Copies of this chain bind each other. A is one copy, B any other.
Amino acid sequence: MSQDQTRNNVLGVDIGGTKVAVGLVDREGKILQQVRKPMQAKGSPEAGLQAVFEAIDSLYSGGVQGIGVCAPGPLDPHSGVVLNPPNLPCWRDFPLAERIRSKYSVPVKVDNDANAAALAETRWGAARGYRYVFYATVGTGIGTGIVFDGRIYHGKTGSAGEGGHVSIDYHGPVCGCGKFGCIEILAAGPAIGARARAKFADPFRKSAILDLANGEVSAVTSERVGQAYASGDALAREILQETAELLTIWLGNIVDILDPDVIVMGGGVAAMLSPFFDSIKTGLPAWCVNPRASEIPLVMAHYGPDAGIAGGAALCAE
């Protein structure tokens, strides 16, 4: 692609624990091209950076307006310094934005994936035209982002919008973060798998979930639950309905604090739960004092697996 074609575009970079995805994104949020390269998460800081450079170079031909990077947190979005991400042990207090900027000489922004995806949805996706956006990505974990008036809400230190670790049950199970009863430990993918496996403590329990796992309870995962639900399995429906109820309670808390004008859900588990969005909306008024809770749109994200690329690109377009 020539420099001329890329002049109005930006690069969105999505750094994960195992891969780096890079996309060329136009001003309307359309992903024109993308590549995916391995990440070096466990080596030296420079080896990690080199992996990112290689991924960028495979698409970059100069002329882009900026480079926006989704990276695992914790990080400082103001300085672009990556602090000590558990799944990127190569970096500790690493000045990622500065290093990328000095190589490519374009503006560089760094933020966490949920914040960036929230911004992409606001700018180009399901939250376009809304002022008070709450975005949640539900997958292996639950990440959230808040966008007010078209800008990510970062709070004082850049750690705002960690809604996945809002506890709704302080007597509940311990989360990976150390808190008890966070919505992430109650309703993300692993929780759905665990809830399903617990149902099979009753050895006479029959369900397509178990058939899909070849009869092995230990092989039951949230994916199997989703597949079983799609085939009409009653137990799978029960499990997903219970999960939707927990998300309703949690969203009630969010609504009572933020009073958003839209709630956007992304991620694989959210897609699996989308048939239950109506029941979440119907249940919401019982779990918040906001008198207009039932009027808040609850919608699936526009971007699916490319949310990280779109999110990175949105950071640059801010």
A157 within 8 A of B: yes
Contact B291 A159 (CB under 8 A): yes
**Residues 163-198 of chain A, each 1 if its beta carbon lies under 8 Å from chain B, else 0:** 101111111000001110100000000000000000
Separation of A178 and B283 alpha carbons in the complex (Å): 12
Chain B residues whose C-beta falls within 8 Å of the C-beta of A258 in the assembled complex: 155, 160, 257
Contact B179 A286 (CB under 8 A): yes
- Chain B: minimal CB distance from A288 (Å): 7
Chain B residues whose C-beta falls within 8 Å of the C-beta of A132 in the assembled complex: 155-156
Contact A160 B257 (CB under 8 A): yes
- Chain B: minimal CB distance from A241 (Å): 15
Separation of A132 and B157 alpha carbons in the complex (Å): 10
Closest residue of B by beta carbon distance from A246? B170
Separation of A249 and B180 alpha carbons in the complex (Å): 9
A259 within 8 A of B: yes
Chain B residues whose C-beta falls within 8 Å of the C-beta of A170 in the assembled complex: 168-169, 246, 249
A137 within 8 A of B: no
Chain B residues whose C-beta falls within 8 Å of the C-beta of A161 in the assembled complex: 257, 259
Given that A159-B290, A258-B155 are contacting pairs, would A168 and B168 also be in contact in the complex, using a CB cutoff of 8 Å? yes
Closest residue of B by beta carbon distance from A144? B257
A residues whose Cβ falls under 8 Å from a Cβ of B: 74, 83, 131-132, 146, 154-163, 165-171, 177-179, 181, 246, 249, 252-254, 256-261, 286-292, 296
Q: Give 8 closest A-B pairs by Cβ, nearest first.
A: A155-B259, A160-B259, A156-B261, A162-B256, A159-B290, A166-B253, A159-B259, A165-B289
